[in-house]
Chains A and B, each alone.
Chain A
Amino acid sequence: MSGIEFRARVRLGDFNLDAGFTAAEGVTGLFGPSGSGKSTILRLIAGLIRPDWGRIVLGDRIVYDSAAGIDVPPHKRRVGFVFQDGLLFPHLSVRRNLLYGPWVRRMGRPAALARTVEILDLARLLDRAPRTLSGGERQRVAIGRALLSDPAVLLMDEPVTAIDQERRAEILPYLELLTRESPRPLLYVSHAIAEIERLTGDIVLLKDGRVVEP
């Protein structure tokens, strides 16, 4: 299969996560109240946290398997991560943020740059510093940066939550366009069900670190 297969157990302080699901190509929503383990799952997939036990498969690559002793480091997982508050590199311009992935991978100038800049409407922002951007602009750059690293899967952790209500309407169309153009699996985390329903019908419901039936 070419989607995401996830099964993991991890204990983080008082919080216990024990969840499993599969996600096909296209968008899958991860929905649940705060503290239900949504962000933890994305971090486990990206390799930023290590599970106590589990197996994570991205497309045809096993990136983690506790039984087989496989643990691919984050920089080799080819995961595009969009964080809640963008997390652009504050010391780099928008352009250099966008080209960070291709640069560290020595891939040269990515062919997708022009199209990405166009879709996300970034042309005017390229020479700006991240601190001068609005919340919505920052998220668009963050999405572009993740895309340009040519990821096998995209993970978005509440990408519009930090943006005020009116501006959210600006960014969701970009996401819709993006998900139509790109066939790779996208896990979209949110605690707002309306936001997820706008993007997909495939929803994984989480509660207290477990997957529950809708």
Chain B
Amino acid sequence: MNLSPEEWQAIWLTLKVAILAVLGSIPFALGIAWLLAYSRIPGKLLIEALISLPLVLPPVVTGYALLILLGRHGWLGGFLDREFGIVLAFRWTGAAVAAGVMGFPFLVRGIRLSFDAIDRDLEGAAATLGAPRWLVFLTVSLPLALPGLLSGAVLAFGRSLGEFGATITFVSSIPGETRTIASTIYALLQTPQGDDAVLRLSAVSVVLSFGSLIAAELLLRVGKRRLAR
């Protein structure tokens, strides 16, 4: 299978965007999953619904929301631009933000389910042995949730690879900057000679997505074995 330089560019860009999206969202996902699993804050249901919103909302709406929030003249985007010179709109980093938001529910869910599966007495045992709460988290909860985190991360990664609607709305489809596999395919479909390239890139998509799903499932199995007593 011969891929053109433009197609390679789209593949690398897609991978780069997805990796940044996942790595960037892990700290936030950990924090929120911890709040949902361990704290007694009110309004958990609302937080959960808000995080899962990108799963059911039309992606174009999520993209539009990002544009309003993080665009150069957006509420947060304007501030980031003025104070730190950070611009996300129409940049590949913005594509990573869009992909991160779309993959976020998978990540939070993976971590949260792992936290919920841990016997609270196991953490209690660690506490009675002399570990303060933060150390219990680092030495018991987090290692036991690691397979769930990795599995969620791989699913979020897979979701990021296929992101289209929110991405094209928020950062458009600029070759070399924000033109990922999905938006390349979409662009190619608008031209008469694009069929072969569409087929090639679709095949790449299938392979990458299939690989992510299998990896996620394998990680979950490792996790189950780890928790077995």
Contact = CB atoms under 8 A, between A and B. Distances in A.
B143 A91 contact: yes
Interface residues of A, number: 31
B227 interface: yes
B20 to A, nearest CB: 29
A46 B124 CA distance: 9
B228 to A, nearest CB: 5
Given A91-B144, A149-B130, A81 B226 contact: no
Nearest to A77: B128
A104 B139 contact: yes
B interface, over-half SS = helix
Contacts of A46: 124, 128
Chain B interface residue bracket vs A: 20 to 34
A100 B143 CA distance: 14
Interface string B123-141: 0111111111101100110
A37 interface: no
Interface stretch (A82-90, A186-194, A201-209): A82-90
Contacts of A61: none
Contact of B226 (A79, A91, A146): A91
Interface in A71-108: 73-81, 83, 85-91, 100-101, 104-105
Identify the interface centre among A47, A48, A90, A100: most chain B CB within 10 Å of its CB. Answer: A90
B130 A104 contact: yes
A81 B229 CA distance: 18
B115 to A, nearest CB: 14
B196 interface: no
A83 B129 CA distance: 12
B119 interface: yes
Contacts of A83: 121, 125
B124 A104 contact: no
A105 to B, nearest CB: 4
A109 B135 CA distance: 19
B125 A87 contact: yes
A145 B144 CA distance: 19
Interface in A54-76: 73-76
A131 interface: yes
Contacts of A77: 128
Given A90-B226, A90-B228, A90-B229, A100 B124 contact: no
A130 B125 contact: no
Given A87-B121, A90-B228, A131-B229, A75 B128 contact: yes
A75 B119 CA distance: 18
B127 A87 contact: no
B51 to A, nearest CB: 27
B122 interface: yes
Nearest to B120: A48
Interface in B98-136: 119, 121-122, 124-133, 135-136
14 contacts: A43-B124, A48-B127, A48-B128, A73-B127, A75-B132, A78-B130, A79-B128, A89-B122, A89-B125, A89-B140, A90-B226, A100-B129, A104-B129, A104-B135
| 9 shortest interchain CB distances as A-B pairs | A101-B129, A74-B127, A104-B131, A81-B128, A105-B130, A48-B124, A149-B129, A87-B125, A75-B127
Given A47-B128, A104-B135, 4 more contacts: A74-B127, A77-B128, A101-B129, A131-B229
